[in-house]
């Protein structure tokens, strides 16, 4: 796969993977390595960085030697997300932040108003913001106007595994912002979902539950690695246009005359 340039870094994979929900730290490490991901997301809220458990977790993450994308998971206001992002920058020594501002606990949908407010403030503070958003084109436009160079619209609600609920909306965002880095984040349940996202022209896919909750996480991680690569290659190759009629793949010209006579 050709190198991917995003947020000032050059990566060899377009797969981003989370570090939560795995049955054990060892399985987490093995799965992330098997995925070939170039970016791993971590939550500052899940464990305190100063305690023993937190130190062990951070050491495991550092051993992966990947680009780290801290997130503001669990935040419900711009103020809370901004504070968490600033703390994450100090802990992880990176200006990258996956911005999550949750507006509803039922489907974990982002709060569009607080999300834009937080994005504006963090960009002014020197962050490279990766905003987790819905597939709403108008919200995407507002985030771009706020200064975002990367957008992460959901495929479906976090952890639902429903795949791409509205490919039309995702395609509209891709067509509206051809030069933006776009990553499908949330809802990916199986490798074919990742293929579909990449074939739409998205630059990457972020997932966690689909691997961590699989019966065989390491094997599933490897499957997603292949899926992202296949989807991207298919997009770059250019798929044939759909048709409303059949078209023979074997030409009639050159067919033996007795074969034609039998028809």
- Altogether, the residues listed in the chain come to a count of 263
Residue with tokens 């997300």: 81
The annotation status of 208 as a binding-site residue, yes or no, is yes
SS3 for 38-82 is: CEEEEECCCCCCCCHHHHHHHHHHHHHCCEEEEECCCCCCHHHHH
Torsion 213-229-204-155 (CA) sign: negative
Cβ 216 vs Cβ 225: under 8 Å: no
The annotation status of 186 as a binding-site residue, yes or no, is yes
Q: Is 9 a catalytic residue?
A: no
Torsion 41-128-157-223 (CA) sign: negative
The annotation status of 159 as a binding-site residue, yes or no, is yes
Residue 70 sits at φ, ψ, to 5 deg, of -65, 150
Of 9, 79, 98, 171, which one is the catalytic site residue?
Answer: 98
The annotation status of 237 as a binding-site residue, yes or no, is no
Instruction: Give the residue ranges of the annotated binding site for 1-deoxy-D-xylulose 5-phosphate.
Output: 159, 186-187, 208-209
Catalytic residue numbers? 98
Binding residues: 159, 186-187, 208-209
């Amino acid at each position: 796969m050709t190198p991917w340039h995003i947020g000032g870094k050059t990566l060899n994979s377009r797969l981003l993977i989370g570090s939560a929900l795995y049955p054990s730290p060892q399985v987490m490490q093995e799965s992330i390595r098997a995925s070939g991901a170039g970016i791993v997301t971590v939550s500052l809220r899940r464990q305190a960085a100063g305690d023993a458990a937190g130190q062990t977790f951070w050491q495991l993450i550092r051993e992966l030697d990947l680009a780290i994308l801290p997130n503001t998971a669990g935040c419900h206001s711009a103020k809370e997300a901004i504070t968490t992002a600033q703390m994450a920058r100090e802990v992880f020594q990176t200006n990258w932040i996956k911005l999550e501002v949750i507006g509803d606990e039922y489907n974990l949908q982002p709060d569009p108003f607080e999300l834009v407010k937080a994005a504006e403030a963090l960009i002014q503070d020197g962050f490279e913001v990766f905003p987790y958003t819905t597939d709403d084109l108008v919200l995407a436009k507002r985030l771009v106007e706020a200064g975002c160079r990367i957008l992460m619209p959901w495929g479906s609600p976090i952890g639902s595994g429903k795949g791409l609920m509205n490919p039309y909306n995702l395609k509209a965002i891709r067509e509206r912002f051809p030069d933006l880095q776009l990553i499908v984040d949330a809802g990916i349940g199986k490798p074919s979902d990742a293929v579909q996202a990449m074939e739409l022209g998205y630059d990457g896919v972020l997932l966690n539950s689909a691997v961590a909750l699989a019966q065989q996480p390491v094997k599933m991680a490897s499957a997603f690695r292949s899926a992202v690569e296949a989807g991207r290659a298919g997009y770059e190759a250019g798929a044939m246009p759909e048709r409303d009629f059949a078209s023979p793949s074997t030409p009639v010209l050159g067919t033996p005359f007795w074969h034609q006579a039998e028809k």
